[in-house]
Structure 1
Amino acid sequence: MEKKKLLEVSHLKQYFNVGRADEVRAVDDISFYIYEGETFGLVGESGCGKSTTGRSVIRLYDPTSGDIKFDGIDISSIKGREKLSAFRREMQMIYQDPYASLNPRMKVKDIIAEGIDVNKLATSAEDREKQVNDLLKTVGLDPSHGTRYPHEFSGGQRQRIGIARALAVRPKFIICDEPISALDVSIQAQVVNLLQELQEKEKLTYLFIAHDLSMVKYISDRIGVMYFGKLVEVGTSEEIYNYGIHPYTESLLSAIPLPDPDYERTRQRISYKPALPDDKERQLRDIGNQHYVYCSEDEVLDYQEKLAKKKNS
């Protein structure tokens, strides 16, 4: 049975004007898709356009050009309060900073219930309370925590509250915008495991944005590597992690530490140096088995040979 593409992004461009003359090409002509029920990891350094991509997908920004289809519908065609509200119920976001994204003056139960109230998803006050308590239990918190304020929780607990808020409207698709980068390493794995459990239980689809390729590999089915507004490599998580061949991907992989003192003593960091501009037309091209690399037509064979050498070594 053919997989259903829940999200399709085609030739997305998101440009911003800075001052009178300067233009920032935050996202510069990227295309990708996400199958229903999978996690697509988007990885790259700060400022590469990852979060801007996520915010364009959820319609926080109007794209400069390009198409974004969600569940077969062009999101730019969604007009009117009711239709927009229905779209936003289907697609939610978990933010990077779990403290800044929560209103410090609201109790946790009211923060979680915001979406329930706005979308009239509760039939009574008792039903509202039951839904909030169920959500708190779902994310590993006690229902009694609902009467507290965000400052009374740890970073990991606050992120769980943010996850509960996103789940409250029963979405199909969640954009996880660096949801673990502000957390201690010991807590990151707990949050990622929770997201995976929820995905299986609730049949969710994720766009998981991060700068840590090792964590993205752990949670993702497929990975897109982003640099300077471009997708430079896309493939399965195993393929990218073990056989990433674009020079920028190789630089990210070389930065991943391993719990091996001998390896760490000899680990060589690869510094990425972009090629000088030329007149070649580059785009994502399939070098085999749905492994895509940003290259020109005459560079495809070079990358195929490089990939074969890696797999045979």
Structure 2
Amino acid sequence: MGIQASPKIWLLVLNWNGMYHLKYMLPSFLACDYDQHIHLLFVDACSTDESCDYAREIAGKKMEIHVLQDNLGWAGGNNAAIRYAVDNGAEYVVLLNNDMRFSPRWLSDSMSVFEDSPDAGVVGCKIFNDLAEFELAQIDYSMMHFEEANDIPGCCMIVPVEVFRKVGLIDEEYEFYAEEDDFEMRVKNAGYKLYCTNVPIWHFHDGSMRHFPEKKAYLAMRNAILFSRRYDPAFLTLAKTINILLCTTIKNWRKHTMTNRRYYAKNPVFNLRIFFRALSWNLKDARERGRRSPVTPSTL
């Protein structure tokens, strides 16, 4: 695929009630090195705080503000932003969360991957959740290198529009969690590769959803099972479902990964109710649409 000279790149920041995070995110984001062919788009999903006013105040004319009529979730909000960007000539789209800090050359260095690897379908950066580690990584960073990855975190994904045209947009059935995994699986199945650079970026993680632990746990459980049903052998889906069950009841079990911690909302009894609701949804969906539950992404 490669990259042409001065491609039109749209950076999309999806926001919902992110005032706390925008106070550190936007100054870092706007201070980066961006060329004139790069368009910054702030997409607000019906916030009830002062997010939009703050974004307008700090960004001025550097960034376009686009307010959605409804809160469509992570998948739906990004799809709306992608369509808007493509309708306005975007050739590359960068999906970003609103709870991040950036290295000054993060975009220019990451875009060079497309020059070296024409088969790149998604490019991401090295994500840090610890702020001190991120700051040390910034000091140590000098030259970009990259390697093929199995997955790219959805908080920062650089995607050529050509890829969206070929595999579709993000499947909105997920709403939150596992939607980027589903998209990236379709990208790989279409013959593209995922590449992760060593460019450091900091991510707060679950900036919006941490205020809704029950919904977060339910969607994380439901979608993990749904994704596994679509792409894994039956025995692996069963194993992953058992892992989720263990995460809801055994404290030490969930410490292994950030994903495991999402499954734990309150206490074992409360968590079990959420687990069986997520499992029930998948059993019903499997009866109605088959075990593989066909992917239904929107298209451009």
* TM-score (structure 2 length as normaliser): 0.27
Q: By percentage of residues, which structure has more helix?
A: 2
The structure whose Rg is larger is 1
